A and B are shown apart, each in its own frame.
Chain A
Amino acid sequence: MIELFDVTKRFGSETAVDGISLRVEKGQLCALVGTSGCGKSTTLRMINRLIEHSEGEIHIDGQPVRRFREETLRRRIGYAIQSTGLFPHWTVARNIGLVPRLLKWPRDRIQARVEELMSLLGLPMESFADKYPNQLSGGQAQRVGVARALAADPDILLMDEPFGALDPITRETLQLELRDLQSRLNKTIVFVTHDMDEALQLADHLVVMRAGRIVQQGAPLELLRDPVDAFVESLLGGEERGLKEAALTPVSHRMLPLGPRLIALARVHQDASLHQALAVMFREHADRLTVVDAEDMPVGELTLQRLVGTCREE
């Protein structure tokens, strides 16, 4: 659990972060979103004390971060950044084993942990362990970066625009992988991004920042339904935020049991989002879809009226 109480950071006369309070529960992914220079990276870096806060308190599991030695604190917090920060003169395996080595784990335990992480991140040991970072693609390097952040099995992970430099397809793949990974590992993650779609996809808790202050925070759906001002609304896509809301709601939440009518020809998977269902309707010129399960068996149906008319009911 991470808590910020009224935290302020000043650089000289400049106030970068202005009295923010924030609470990230254990196992939650908290996304900090905002335009560049809004203080989101500074906030992240104050948690592992790469930047010292000027005022307020930052607690990790109830303990103020200043109680720890900087190095000790950082070794128990995973850290992944946009440029990956991989050491170019070290092999992939050595890069991943960095924090365990700093913690003086025995050799064979480090070796075993590196192997475990590489298979977890889909990097086959035999083809990647001895490569150098400059021999990796952007996506592979970022996977190594995430593996390195996870190496000592920290409870907390700080990620500063980790997918910011990747092409859209690789980025989407890694977002899905991170979501999958998070559902298995249950880390407490603070994730900085300026990409609202990424934040909506990944976050349990969304924090919108502007000029060093928190403008609004809450669950992504809450923000989408009730943006506090025009700034948050425009960040959330303005007129299109309805579609983003649809993108976050699975078809299964809206579907009706199979009725007495003939089943519709157009079909949609039950785990697809309402956004995708809408796209299928648009493409097939249909106002009714058959919802199918993983085996392609019909399990229900979704009408356009149901999709839009009841969108606001849980």
Chain B
Amino acid sequence: MRRPNIVLLALMLAALAGWLGFESVNVAANRIVAGTGFHAHEIVGWPGSVMSCLPLAAVAMLAWRPTRVRLCWALALIVLILMAMPAWLAIAADRLVDPSLPQSRLGIGPANWLLLFLLLFSLVELRVRLALSRWVTWWLVLPVLAAWWLALTTWLEPLALLREYQVRSDPFHTAVLVHLALVGASVGISLVIGVLLALAMRRHAGIQRLVFSVLNILQTIPSLALFGLLLAPLAWLAANVEWIAALGISGIGWAPALLALVGYSLLPMVRNTFVALSEVEPGVIDSARGMGMNDRQVFLQVRFPLALPVMLEGVRITTVQAIGLTAVAALIGAGGLGTFIFQGLGQAAMDLVLLGALPILFLALVADALLGALASRLDHRRDAGVSG
């Protein structure tokens, strides 16, 4: 721990350069016109902007001769900076946004975005260096989320993102629900089909080759193309088969989206389930049988529980992938958060794009963290000691 922590040092120097070099916020009179960017020193003056650099410089200095204690201090400072960022935006809004113009709004500038991402990278780096457990990390992220939540609900009304949200809070909530429903349904359906396919593949090697080649081909079709390909047959089915139309299935909307999402989800799901079930250590299975377990007991008490962490890994990959792909499904009228992204792109309103993109990012991160935590909790092979 004597040598400088190059990663942290580089991240902090980049953050400092970005903070002073790029525009911190931009202010626009309404959602369409191009805003004016403001550097940090244009908001709080040079003394203030130098002061605002101090915490970053302090972290960089702590990283120069890192000991465990110093890295803990660096961690605390980074969490504090993350908590202070909404306050900074509130100050900027207070100084720059003209309250007499109800449409005027504050956009988050590149300096702030860069700072946010570099700080998150630093958190990851420190988490690894300090070997923090998942729970400690959650407790660190919690106050940051609380600070942002508090700021968003009280002081940050002029924030462009919030303005976009306020005018469409109902569609936003519906979109989140539709998004989650599509992801949940596709992951759920592909989990059931995936497990059944994997079990069938374990019995017959022929099925294994067939399934993998079909799924591999499916995976290479671009998502938009697959949505398009499903359009014609589904429209035909809906037009010619009554009960299918009665279910609300048509060439566009949720049905082709769900079908395509299930199709994409199957490969990671089947592959992980199959590999998980096949790669349980042979000695364990041999001794389970040798001890007198019957086939059902071997599967339910040994093979399946030992495969579960790897299977969950498949569920995690599938879920994160589906959260992203569902955004594209908005193009064929399936709804979801992608709607805002494409609306925003059409109207050249970047903040509307962000209103769709940021929650997708957030959902993906949360799903990833939760399922990852669940998998490692179930996995006694890696860290049985700390699971309790």
Contact = CB atoms under 8 A, between A and B. Distances in A.
A118 interface: no
A85 interface: yes
A88 B287 CA distance: 12
Nearest to B384: A132
A50 interface: yes
Nearest to B281: A83
B284 A72 contact: no
Contact of B283 (A71, A85, A134): A85
Contacts of B206: none
Interface in B112-145: none
A88 B306 CA distance: 8
Contacts of A70: 292
Interface in B271-306: 281, 283-284, 286-294, 297, 302, 305-306
Interface string A96-129: 0011001000000000000000000000000000
A79 interface: yes
A48 B380 contact: no
B284 A85 contact: yes
A156 to B, nearest CB: 12
Contacts of B384: 88, 131-132, 134-135
Contacts of A135: 384-385
B381 interface: yes
Interface string A145-175: 1001000000000100000000000000000
Contact of B290 (A48, A86, A88, A132): A48
A86 B306 CA distance: 12
B374 to A, nearest CB: 15
Interface residues on B, range: 20 to 34
A291 B286 CA distance: 49
Contacts of A79: 287, 290-291
Given A79-B287, A81-B283, A81-B287, A89 B292 contact: no
A72 B281 contact: no
Nearest to B309: A89
A5 to B, nearest CB: 23
A74 interface: yes
Interface in A225-248: none
Contact of A87 (B288, B289, B292, B294): B288
A129 to B, nearest CB: 14
B306 A85 contact: no
A87 B297 CA distance: 13
Contacts of A131: 384
B72 to A, nearest CB: 28
A75 interface: yes
A158 B385 CA distance: 32
Nearest to A89: B380
Contacts of B281: 83, 88
Contact of B288 (A45, A73, A85, A134): A85
Contacts of B293: 71, 102
Contacts of B290: 45, 48, 50, 74, 79, 81, 85, 158
A85 B287 contact: yes
A79 B306 CA distance: 21
A42 interface: no
B286 A85 contact: yes
A85 B287 CA distance: 5
A48 B292 CA distance: 9
Contacts of B291: 74-75, 79, 98-99, 102, 148
B294 A71 contact: yes
A84 B293 CA distance: 16
A102 B286 contact: no
Residue among B290, B293, B305, B385 with max Cβ neighbours from chain A (10 Å): B290
A74 B384 CA distance: 30
B284 A87 contact: yes
A71 B296 CA distance: 12
B284 A134 contact: no
Interface centre among B281, B287, B293, B306 (most CB of A within 10 A): B287
B284 A50 contact: no
Nearest to B289: A50
A85 B384 CA distance: 17
A79 B284 CA distance: 12
A47 to B, nearest CB: 10
Interface of A: 45, 48, 50, 70-75, 79, 81-89, 98-99, 102, 131-132, 134-135, 145, 148, 158
Given A81-B283, A132-B380, 8 more contacts: A71-B292, A71-B293, A74-B289, A81-B290, A83-B281, A85-B284, A132-B385, A158-B290
Interface of B: 281, 283-284, 286-294, 297, 302, 305-306, 380-381, 384-385
17 contacts: A50-B286, A50-B289, A70-B292, A71-B294, A72-B292, A73-B292, A75-B292, A85-B287, A85-B288, A87-B288, A88-B380, A88-B381, A98-B291, A131-B384, A132-B385, A134-B384, A148-B291
Smallest CB-CB A-B distances: 6 pairs: A85-B287, A83-B283, A75-B292, A74-B292, A132-B384, A79-B290
